[in-house]
Amino acid sequence: MANKQIDMRKIKQIFRLYSQGVSKRQISSSLGLSRNTITKYIAFFQRYQFTSYEVSAM
């Protein structure tokens, strides 16, 4: 479903799992989100250089 709102807990999990070295495909299947969505959020984190503390404080 297009434009479905994503829970903030899932966004935090994306960052946590990716920083642990989990692949985008594995993150996608474990959270039930598309790989394009995972890629979009990872690019966002990298572009703005968020730290794990900043993401957890969101």
Q: For the chain, which residues make up each domain, given as ranges?
A: 8-57
For residue 54, name the pLDDT band (cuts at 50, 70, 90).
confident
pTM assigned to the model: 0.80
Give the SS3 label for residue 46: helix
User: Quick one: pLDDT at residue 1?
Assistant: 53
Q: How many CA atoms lie within 13 A of 11 on its CB side?
A: 15
pLDDT per residue over 3-51, tens digit each?
788 888 999 899 999 989 999 999 999 999 999 999 999 998 888 887 7
CB-based contacts of 16, cutoff 8 Å, min separation 6: 52, 55
pLDDT for the residue numbered 2? 66
